[in-house]
């Protein structure tokens, strides 16, 4: 394909913020709804019918597209932005409805035919991850700098709400009806959540020809840019400590004597409430201080929580109520961080290929979450919880110091990179 085959506008009119917010919120909720279904609800339903744990473990294969979507992001961006026409609406709507059809297929397949069930769930997550590329690109294009903080509450808050719908709410529906009915209701919910995007009208860009620049989206173009490279480094550094600690706090609470029912409430409604509260706090910080300073504040807040956790353990004060407070505080500060990071990284994404650049950041974060979670479990088995939590303090301290240098250099003066 010639470089001239994709013509991308670098500037132009943006849609009204409220319309954008509602449209992307519906998409982000639906995406996390699918993740909650695949990673929380279906495993629970399968286990209740006697499925083996090793079979249930295979469901985590559906996460693969979320870590690898950067591989096909350039192709999708080329199609989405090709020849002066923004096709975000078409990609997202048809993608969402494909996800709904696949979730409906899960309802019809049931849990008895596991290979077919796994295939349908994998295709649904693949479609959701692909839609996410287009939705992120659309959000970067449409959210002005002063709206990014509140705009990212749709993404981060939507993920918490969607996971709750696909997890706790869905399991309640299964308990009060049956697997097929509950899953079909979830498929219908995905269609309803996509409706606000139906009214998004972009069409062919009316800008004069000289406002277009020839460009073919690519990973090479992204990685040549300093802001992208520094953004990936910051995402990984900042994620290691909080991600590792978050993955271990649940098992640690169980070992301290917390019952499964209370932990379920803590990881369910309490986590959603804390996460949503954190997204609003993050938006307020971005509005008040700007994305780069809000990012630094978020990392230092996370460091404070991890220091408090380590101190409680070292001084023998790690009671269950204290640890529950730490988990809630960590959830809040991580949500603050997501909003601040995403606002900062939106500014570092090029309008020529916003979906590619932002997808790289998200894939780096997903890889960091997977690696830190695995490493934390293995390391805790060898050296104990206390030492692992102490290591997370060290890694977060490094991230906090690095953020003082990196955040300012990632943020572009005046907004989005052209």
- pLDDT tens digits for range 150-188: 888 888 888 888 888 887 788 888 888 888 999 999 999
Q: 206: part of which helix (H) or strand (E)?
A: none
- The number of beta carbons lying within 10 Å of the beta carbon of residue 388 is 23
Cα 409 from Cα 347, distance rounded (Å): 11
> Could you tell me the pLDDT band of residue 262, with boundaries at 50, 70 and 90?
confident
Q: Model pTM?
A: 0.81
DSSP state letters, 293-344: HHHHHHHHHHHHHHHHHHHHHHTT---HHHHHHHHHHHHHHHHHHHHHHHHH
Q: With CA atoms as reference, report the closest residue to 16 among 201, 154, 193.
A: 201
- CA dist., res. 238 & res. 232, Å (int): 10
pLDDT attached to residue 412: 62
Q: What is the pLDDT of residues 120-129, one digit of tens each?
A: 999 999 999 9
Element (H, E) at 395: helix 385-410
Q: Which tens digits make up the pLDDT trace of 309-327?
A: 999 998 888 888 999 899 8
Query: For residue 213, what pLDDT band results from cuts at 50, 70 and 90?
Result: low
């Amino acid at each position: 394909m010639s470089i001239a085959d994709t013509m991308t506008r670098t500037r132009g009119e943006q849609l009204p913020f409220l319309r954008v917010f509602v449209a992307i919120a519906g998409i982000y909720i639906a995406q996390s709804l699918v993740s909650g279904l695949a990673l929380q609800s279906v495993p629970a339903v399968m286990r209740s019918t006697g499925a083996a744990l090793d079979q249930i473990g295979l469901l985590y294969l559906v996460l693969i597209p979320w870590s690898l979507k950067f591989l096909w992001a350039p192709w999708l961006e080329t199609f989405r932005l090709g020849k002066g026409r923004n096709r975000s609406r078409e990609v997202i709507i048809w993608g969402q409805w494909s996800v709904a059809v696949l979730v409906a297929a899960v309802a019809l397949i049931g849990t008895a035919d596991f290979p077919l069930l796994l295939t349908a769930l994998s295709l649904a997550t693949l479609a959701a991850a692909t839609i996410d590329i287009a939705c992120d690109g659309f959000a970067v294009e449409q959210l002005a700098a002063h709206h990014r903080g509140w705009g990212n509450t749709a993404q981060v808050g939507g993920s918490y709400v969607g996971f709750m719908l696909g997890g706790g709410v869905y399991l309640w529906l299964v308990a009060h009806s049956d697997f097929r009915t509950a899953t079909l209701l979830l498929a219908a919910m995905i269609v309803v959540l996509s409706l606000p995007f139906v009214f998004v009208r972009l069409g062919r860009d009316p800008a004069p020809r000289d406002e277009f620049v020839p460009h073919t989206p690519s990973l090479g173009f992204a990685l040549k840019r300093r802001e992208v490279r520094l953004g990936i480094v910051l995402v990984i550094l900042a994620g290691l400590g909080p991600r590792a600690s978050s993955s271990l706090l649940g098992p640690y609470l169980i070992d301290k004597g917390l019952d499964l029912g209370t932990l379920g409430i803590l990881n369910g409604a309490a986590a959603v409430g804390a996460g949503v509260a954190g997204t609003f706090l993050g938006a307020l910080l971005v509005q008040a201080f700007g994305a780069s300073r809000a990012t630094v504040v978020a990392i230092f807040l996370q460091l404070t929580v991890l220091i408090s956790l380590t101190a409680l353990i070292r001084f023998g004060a790690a009671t269950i109520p204290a640890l529950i407070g730490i988990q809630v505080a960590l959830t809040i500060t991580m949500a603050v961080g997501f909003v601040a990071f995403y606002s900062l990284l939106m500014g570092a994404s090029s309008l020529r290929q916003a979906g590619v650049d932002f997808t790289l950041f998200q894939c780096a974060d997903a890889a960091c979450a997977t690696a830190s979670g695995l490493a934390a479990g293995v390391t805790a088995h060898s050296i104990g919880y206390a030492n692992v939590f102490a290591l997370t303090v060290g890694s977060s301290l490094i991230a906090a110091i690095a953020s003082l240098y990196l955040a300012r250099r990632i943020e572009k003066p005046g907004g989005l990179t052209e």
